[in-house]
Amino acid sequence: MERIAFFDARSYDRTYFDRLSPGAGLELFYLENKLTPDTAVLAQNASAVCAFVNDDLGKETLPLLAKYGVRAIALRCAGYNNVDLKTAAKYGIRVFRVPAYSPASVAEHALALLLTLTRQTHRAFTRTRERNFSLEGLVGTNIEGKCVGVIGTGKVGMRFAAMVQGLGAKVYAYDPKPVWGAGVEYVGLNELIRQADVLSLHCPLTPSTYHLLNRDAFCAMKDGVILLNTSRGALIDSEALLDHIKSGKVGAAGLDVYEEEADIFYEDVSGKVMRDDTLNLLLSQPNVLVTSHQAFLTKEALEAIAKTTVENLRKFFAGETVENELTAGRP
């Protein structure tokens, strides 16, 4: 049995991984700690680590993992902006991911955020719980007839586009690698930002997309635009977003991610003082809806993540080709 250090483990992870790992010859030991240079020592005697989106797999952590005998990193997610792939390859550590576990899960969550914001059901729920059945201040807006801009037309972006098209929206899309013939109209990024009534992010975080929506981008948007982000927090300049929410330029924002989320999301910090003033102010706005990076969190997605992650590791230890490898071909 190959020992796997499973970092940032949650109960919902164990439910699905425990079903599959024994049959693949894997012995998982679960750690609630996030993977950092300080916690890398917990991977001693492990052949591989299983990591998630907020684990630190940078230049300080990777040499330590190599020192402790770790030969592979199995990401149980699609994004890998938290991994220094060049350093991993330098130390001979193979890196695998789960490229497409459930596009519908993330797309449906983005749609849920949009519908909640346009019909203010989150505010209505709070009111009626207090026996307040007034409709004052709850006037919504239709999605039908609106222009929805989709940035990133991978599997999630295309699924979201199809959903809002089904509601009667006009979809414009931007992607450096367009999927022609897919039923969406591609335009330049600047034009999309200017035209969109709703702007939804479905792209990876890379050096070129860091703060893709910055102050200049916000200034170019329509007044009252609705912004959705279910991808990576750092795609948006959070301070610029807050300023434009306060000015009224951004009519509403649905955020499942936040650029400084690493020490906050997935944790219960309700009894602590939160020192992130930008996030505190965003949470205080009635037209901002924040969820804790949960767009992936469905039974179907969790099962698919576990299945692909376990299969990636099984193939690696069996000496087979792993199609989902990120380090293949790197020096």
Q: Could you give the residue numbers annotated as active site?
A: 232, 261, 293
Can you tell me the distance from the alpha carbon of 30 to that of 3, in angstroms, rounded to the nearest whole number?
11
* Contacts of residue 122, Cβ cutoff 8 Å, sequence gap at least 6: 116, 289
Can you tell me the distance from the alpha carbon of 11 to that of 267, in angstroms, rounded to the nearest whole number?
13
Using alpha carbons only, give the angle 278, 138, 113 rounded to the nearest 5 degrees: 50
Can you tell me the distance from the alpha carbon of 159 to that of 307, in angstroms, rounded to the nearest whole number?
22
Can you tell me the distance from the alpha carbon of 69 to that of 48, in angstroms, rounded to the nearest whole number?
8
State how far Cα 13 lies from the chain centre.
17
Residue whose tokens read 């009111």: 127
At position 192, the amino acid (one-letter code) is L
**Taking Cα atoms as reference points, which of 50, 18, 47, 21 lies closest to residue 33?**
50
**Taking Cα atoms as reference points, which of 97, 2, 103, 102 lies closest to residue 51?**
97
Can you tell me the distance from the alpha carbon of 92 to that of 70, in angstroms, rounded to the nearest whole number?
9
Question: Which 3 state secondary structure label does DSSP give 21?
Answer: coil
